[in-house]
Structure 1
Amino acid sequence: MAEPIVISDGIKGVILDDEVSEKLKGIGEADILVGIPSFNNADTIGHVVRAVQAGFAKYFPDQRAILINSDGGSTDGTLEIVEKTVIEDFQPLLIDQRQSFLSKITTPYHGIPGKGSAFRTIFQIAKELNVKACAVVDSDLRSITPEWIDLLIRPVLNRNFDFVTPYYLRHKYDGTITNSIVYPVTRALYGQRIRQPIGGDFGFSGKLAEFYLSKDVWESDVARFGIDIWMTTTAVANDFRVCQSFLGAKIHAAKDPSSDLSAMLMQVVSALFMLMEEYPRRWQEVRSTDPVPMFGFEFSV
């Protein structure tokens, strides 16, 4: 087992398996990284991986790109699907130049079971590879397209933004926690009109990934579903440059509200109040709300 990497201030770093550490040494550095957290997502993750690969090939053919699958102990073949999924023919996608620098790593994450712990491993790998721009996307997405990768990464690479939040076309009754609690509270407290603070699909700079790693929050609800609101609020409260990208509709695998929504609500709200306690000077100064720059081609149906 690899030894923990100490990041700063005595915080224990992420434990990376020896095999993963060796692969990272072989890769050296990368320009862009997309991370996919997963747990038993065999039915959908193949489509997500293909979309990421196509996004790399179509929009970033000359960049050193890497795809990271950070898994929570799947038993349904999720890891095997990620490893085997490859786009053999790019011609139907009108892509002539294949991605020549693509690397792919699947790895288990360690720590509290949850999305935040999976992200922490992705942040650590981004730091190890000195990545310029990163994105994370959900493993159960059915509507992801290659354009999502461009819209999440290019504002970081070409416009010097540090954090890219998604802007979805959603039904008015979809996103209960976002619409009822997280969006209005975040807008009121921090003065930024970020419509999807817990969207789950984000772009961010390598600098911000390293900043996230330096925070001692990985034994809290941030390690679970609190990660999204924590990432957004931490970026805003620490004056990182934030924007939004219009991604169209977000369609993902159906979930059982009785088993998922209550835990998510508790963890998100817990993180929300923890952040209020951490950044009182920031929200006490807010007197108005400001629009956030938007990228992408907006439409409605």
Structure 2
Amino acid sequence: MVNSGGWLEWEAEQARDWISRPQAGDDKYSRGVLGVRTGSKDYPGAAVLGADAAVRTGLGMVRYLGPRRAANLVLQRRPEVVTVPGRVQAWLLGSGINAATRTDAVSTALAEALAEGLPTVLDAGALDLVARAIGPTVITPHAGELATMLANEAKPGSASQIAANAGEWAIRAARLFDVTVLLKGAVTHIASPSGARLTVSTGPAWLATAGSGDVLGGILGALLATHSDQLETDAAALAPLAATAVLLHADAAILASAGGPIAALDIADAVPLAVAALLEHGIDPGQRTTG
């Protein structure tokens, strides 16, 4: 469905084509390896949430490279995660990191990851490094974070102004930073420099909970890793992949909630069911709600 302003509401019929099904001859590398640099001393849980969600979305390997405490917590939750450097096909960077307090070592590690030119999700404490992104990149700010990114630009906007006209600001940011923008909100807007305009508005209000965005980052990172070959030659694939991640996130929340409250790990736990429902028959649209 096309909304006013030319925005396309992303639905299951389109999203299922962007889920990668493993084939009989696949191995963990051909199924996609996601590198993750997230979490911090203050927010180690973000690393757990993103890694857990990525594993559950369906890829071959998650390689977590972050603070020792966060790495230990990730391994306690997901012992299959690898915590030594090596080959990756996409990056998830910044969740649970504070740009104002991150160390020089962390900044250098984030910059080195960006310099590889791989498909990348930039979140939270790595958003200020968007100018260093040389590969296919999706940024995932909420209105307040986008306001911070735009503070020194010719036309800054406050968080309230951005939230009130999210679509226009998403388009502006995509053009300004030359990346795909996933602007989180009650209605999530995805805009690309090439002109893609997608919305997802199916998530329950219960999604507004601590760590929910970290789960979304993990889902999106996994989708980029499983489509890394395509993204090498087709950066336009970023927008539908981002919209599919948002839809899976919303569907997982619907399944986890069943009408009641949820926590971020509940959403991650329900991701495999959301993927299966999307691939096999789709979730009943009557279950989708913004309330």
State the TM-score, normalized to the length of structure 1. 0.32
TM-score for both structures, normalised by structure 2 = 0.33
Structure of larger gyration radius: 1
